Structure 1
Amino acid sequence: MGRLCQRADREIVRVDHIAFVENPRDRRCIITKTSDDEGNEIDYFTWEKTGKIVNNDEGHHFEGRMFCYPTLGVL
Structure 2
Amino acid sequence: MGIEQMSAIAHELGIYVDEESPECQDAKKNADSITAEIQDILEYKEAQLPLQGQIWKDLTRLEKEEFRLRKVGSEK
Give the TM-score range, shorter chain: under 0.3
Task: Please report the TM-score for the alignment, with normalisation by the length of structure 1.
Answer: 0.20
Q: Which has the higher strand share?
A: 1
Q: Which entry has the higher C-alpha Rg, 1 or 2?
A: 2
